[in-house]
Structure 1
Amino acid sequence: MRKWSEEVLRQAGNPHVAALTATATENVNSFVFDMGPRPGSALELEFDSTYPGCGEPGVLVGLSLDPGGVGSMVRLPDSLPDSEAVLMLADQLQEEVLESTRGEPAPPCPGHVHPAKPDMAGGVPSWVCPRDGKLLRSILPPGFTG
């Protein structure tokens, strides 16, 4: 997931990343707080067991573009097919980048003032034009491993 995240961020213009984490967890719906640089300093809080999907393993991807540590967390359950996980990851990381660029298109949609948007094209997570649906390119290059 970290390599996928790095590739999405590269395509979004390589924003200055203050922190990027990809953490496997037994409960993708838990909250993880980084309590400092010491090993074992993360605090994980679990949701109530009645919460849908509680206890499902997966990966939590954290991104902060702010040196102060403000950022977002993407929750990717293991049950999510890879194509949907890439799409969700691109969508949420792009949202964080757009907030940091104050709306500058990232990644740009060629010839337009809006950014490309993540969407499925022929079953492949891709960047497409939100206005006309034109396929621009796949989010992860063919043969990308990570």
Structure 2
Amino acid sequence: MKRSADTVRKWCEIILGQLGNPRVFALDVDEVDDVNTLILGSDTIPGPTLRALSEKAPGAAESGVLTFVSLHPSGSGSGVRLPDSLPEHQVVLMLAEQLQEEVWESSQGEAVPECPGHQHPARADAVDEVPSWVCPREGKVLRPILSADPPA
């Protein structure tokens, strides 16, 4: 399923909101012909200067969306490759896991999103193919990840 960069950016913004709206220094979301390309930036913080280099044969290319997020003023961060061939729930889980990891690293271990009544954060998981925040201890579904509503 072909996804637009705008859709993936919106998902990132929803997830980051659930992770406490950390200060984002860079959020780059680009549709690409091959998600397995080597990405080079000509600046410290990736943005419109990203360019892709690939040594793969043209027939082996897999279209998709590349994301990069930096929550650090130095521009350091991480990205995730989201092939169009993956089902939507898997793409949302990959985004949630990567963004949660970035927030955890940039905040020295803040437990977000909160798991009510526990010290640990909720974990991204698929429940009947619905990406959800789940208590890792009890398995209780807390809420869908793409819910724009704040937690109750």
TM range (shorter): 0.7 to 0.9
Amino acid at match of 2:17: R
TM-fit CA distance, 1:40:
6.2
> Which of 117, 121, 137 is the equivalent residue of 2:143?
137
Runs (4+) of structure 1 exceeding 3 A deviation are none
Structure 2 Cα separation of the partners of residues 33 and 107 of structure 1: 32
- 1:88–1:28 Cα change, 3 Å: same
Sequence identity, in percent?
A: 52
Structure 1, unaligned runs of 5 or more: none
Deviation by residue 1:78-135 (Cα, 9 ceiling, x = unmatched): 0111111101110111111111111110111111111100001122000000111000
Alignment of 1:16-55 (within 5 A): 16-36=23-43, 41-46=49-54, 48-49=55-56, 54-55=60-61
Structure 2 Cα separation of the partners of residues 33 and 18 of structure 1: 18
RMSD (Å) for aligned C-alpha atoms: 2.1
Match of 2:121 in 1: 115
Using structure 1 for the length normalisation, give the TM-score.
Answer: 0.87
Alignment of 1:72-87 (within 5 A): 72-87=78-93
Deviation by residue 1:16-69 (Cα, 9 ceiling, x = unmatched): 1000011000010113233149x96323222x438xx95100000110001111
- 1:54–1:5 Cα change, 3 Å: farther
Amino acid at match of 2:12: S
Using structure 2 for the length normalisation, give the TM-score.
Answer: 0.84
Q: Does 1:3 align with 2:10?
A: yes
Amino acid at match of 1:59: V
- 1:122–1:45 Cα change, 3 Å: same
Structure 2 Cα separation of the partners of residues 54 and 96 of structure 1: 30
> Which of 91, 95, 98 is the equivalent residue of 2:101?
95
